[in-house]
Structure 1
Amino acid sequence: MTQTGYSGRPLSRKLGLKPGMTCWRAEMPEDIADLLNAQEPGQLVMASPTPMLDCAHVFVREKDVLSLHLADLRDLLAPDGMIWVSWPKKSSKMPTTVTEDVIRDICLPMGLVDVKVCAVDTVWSGLKLVIRKEKRAEQKEKLAVQASRSAGNQSGQSNGR
């Protein structure tokens, strides 16, 4: 994949990926996934999103699909985690119902805010979403409750209950 006309910064660095991060990807084009795997081999890419997720990256063309992803991911995101939403640039001529404004219309009522935009490649733009600072403590508590319930369910199952 060529990055002609784009900064020399590696994509993994633009996205803030680091070794040891738990990441989940949805509909990521294979060439971008290969590039990220080569640039940051230390990240743990999950088959499905799980609680305390450090990073999710969703590639979407439809507003409705984006709404579903964000609704699912919001409650699984680590308090200091991030969600990257990528959508086709206008110049790609790929049909889409997603724009920066559409993303904001969906994410802001969920307590997510956009903090960064980048060119993923010549086709895709990316917008980084994080949990509002004032909502992070609440998210931490919510995930702790989920974890204790999950642990309770597992111990109950192992005791034959």
Structure 2
Amino acid sequence: MVARSVAQKMGLKAGWTAHLVDAPDGVPESMGLPDLHLVPLHGEVDYLHLFVTTQERMREELPHLVLHLAPQGKLWVSWPKGRGLGSDLTLPTVIEIGYDCGLVESTCLSIDATWSALRFTRPKPGVVYRNSFGTLPDQH
């Protein structure tokens, strides 16, 4: 049995529009990305991926990315595992910031030995999300 690539686990498809923010050298190549159309950030984008090491930077970037997420698109946030690279991010803080931006967490996976990744989605209408790490702005 052949192991699936990180990109396959992420559900990425060839031909999608994509925008990666602050991707470290060599990491996108190691993910086994399909043939994507890398685009500037305007209009709707199928696959958005933010690589970030600080809460401050995530709070700056994520709200802007959300505006460009296609309705069925995938938005991933990656941060260093175990507070590596001087990061102040942990899974709970990443989830909290996502909720603050009106998103809910979905799938978590490992990109490589350094980077974790969490997929965020738009909340389903009418569903109340209860998470000890965050609350959606309209569900306080």
By percentage of residues, which structure has more helix? 1
Gaps of 5+ in 2: 127-140
Residues 51 and 35 of structure 1, relative CA distance in 2, 3 Å threshold: same
Looking at structure 2, the residues matched to 53 and 11 of structure 1 have their Cα atoms a distance apart, in angstroms, of 20
Q: 1:23 aligns with which of 18, 22, 40?
A: 18
Q: 2:121 aligns with which of 122, 130, 134?
A: 130
**Deviation (angstroms), 1:89:** 0.5
**Deviation (angstroms), 1:93:** 3.5
- Is residue 2:19 matched to residue 1:44? no
Deviations 1:90-111 (A, max 9, x none): 1x74211111111111111322
- Runs of 4+ in structure 1 over 6 Å off: none
Q: Which residue of 2 aligns with 1:146?
A: none
Percent identity over the alignment? 27
Looking at structure 1, the residues matched to 84 and 54 of structure 2 have their Cα atoms a distance apart, in angstroms, of 14
Q: Which residue of 1 aligns with 2:131?
A: none
**Deviation (angstroms), 1:133:** 2.1
Q: CA RMSD in A?
A: 1.9
Q: Which residue of 1 aligns with 2:111?
A: 120
Q: Which residue of 1 aligns with 2:129?
A: none
TM-score calculated relative to the size of structure 2: 0.81
The secondary structure found in structure 1 opposite 2:85 is: coil
- Is residue 2:37 matched to residue 1:34? no
Q: 1:69 aligns with which of 61, 66, 86?
A: 61
Deviations 1:34-87 (A, max 9, x none): 234x5412x1111x3222111111110011111111110111111111211000
Gaps of 5+ in 1: 1-6, 136-161
State the structure with more CA Rg. 1
Is 27-36 or 76-85 further displaced after alignment?
27-36
TM-score calculated relative to the size of structure 1: 0.71
**Contact 2:12/2:33, CA 8 A, preserved across alignment:** no
